Amino acid sequence: RYTVDLFFSIKLLRKFIKAPVIIAVDPLNFFYAFLLKKIGGVEKVIFYTMDYGHKRFNNPLLNKVYHFFDRFAASRCDESWSACRKIADIRKKQGVPESKNIYIPNSPILHDIAVKPLDEIDRFSLVCLFSNYLQVDFKIMFDAMAILYGKFPEIKLKLIGRGDFKREIEHLVHNKDILNNIEFLDIYSHTEALREISKCAIGLECNTQTLTWNEFREPIKIREYIAFGLPVISKPGHALVEDIERDGIGFIVTDTGEFVKAVEAFFCDFTYYVRVREKVIELGILYDKKRILDTVLLKNVGNNILLERK
């Protein structure tokens, strides 16, 4: 299958595209693009690493093949982009020069959805966005909600996923009194999901964090929360844990008790919540993906291409 992919990739690109730059988004794609560069079809190849793991595959041989192609790409690319700061650190250790080692955070493009002023957000709302409900620890959220409901009866938990996940997880809610305070939202539109996030007060990352590459994963949902000014409550096990703690934009929790205390810290002290939210908004501006991409694309492909994009 990979041989067929290679053949058709080169055939199609040679026929339809004379591109100054190809952005290849995994080691095998880079290998294809590198061969195309060698036969004169492209001037520059950027290696964009979206995910990485020391143990990327369970099969030891396949894992060695993956890392061979990964190192091949890192050593021969014209520029290395990394979707995680820890991946950029790996590239530095592999000898990628600082001028070519670019960190591109997984921030969203906002689709003209503005950060809401304080009086337009639901002050006592929590939101959790996910694509696969099987990877989410709903128990920690539901158990915390059962406790928090007694102190904050207006509390709301918005669960944004895909499909009829409510039927699969509703049995995990042991205190049925809180069901009216939980919204199960089946939203397929990314823009609509971002619009819902922008109305909420706190963003939750409660994935089970069992995948081997989570060490090098910066959850997109956290970047989306940050883009709209939401302080974060997260379980550990991913690559943004240190950022959340260092920048003071939320809490890392491991159990229901810590989860409850984190929510109480934000709900009981409005001044503290506002102060943290202001920090988050500043970070959202700093990690504006459109600005970052325009800067790196301008360096690589020039003004004409940027004008065509706009």
Q: What is the mean pLDDT of residues 253-279?
A: 97
Element (H, E) at 193: helix 190-198
**The residue type at 133:** Y
pLDDT at 36: 82
Calculate what percentage of the chain has a pLDDT beyond 90. 69
Cα radius of gyration rounded to whole Å, the chain = 22
pLDDT at 154: 97
Which residues does residue 129 pair with via DSSP β-bridges, in sequence order? Answer: 160
pLDDT at 308: 42
Report pLDDT digits (tens) over 192-250.
Answer: 999 999 999 999 999 986 666 778 889 999 999 999 999 999 999 999 999 999 999 99
Report pLDDT digits (tens) over 28-58.
Answer: 889 988 988 887 768 899 999 998 999 888 8
Place of tokens 């650190």: 89
pLDDT tier at 14, thresholds 50, 70, 90: low
Q: Tell me, what DSSP letter sits at residue 206?
A: -
Calculate what percentage of the chain has a pLDDT beyond 70. 92
Residue-averaged pLDDT of the chain:
90
Contacts of 222 (CB under 8 A, 6+ apart): 203, 205, 232, 234, 240, 244
| Rounded Cα distance, 9 and 14, in Å | 8
Contact 23, 64 (CB under 8 A): no
State yes or no: pLDDT of 22 exceeds 70: yes
| Rounded Cα distance, 59 and 62, in Å | 5
| Rounded Cα distance, 310 and 308, in Å | 5
Report pLDDT digits (tens) over 64-110.
Answer: 999 999 999 999 999 999 999 999 999 999 999 999 999 999 888 87
Q: Tell me, what DSSP letter sits at residue 131?
A: S
pLDDT tier at 16, thresholds 50, 70, 90: low
Is 154 or 19 the better-scoring residue by pLDDT?
Answer: 154
pLDDT at 157: 98
Q: What is the mean pLDDT of residues 170-184?
A: 94
| Rounded Cα distance, 26 and 70, in Å | 8
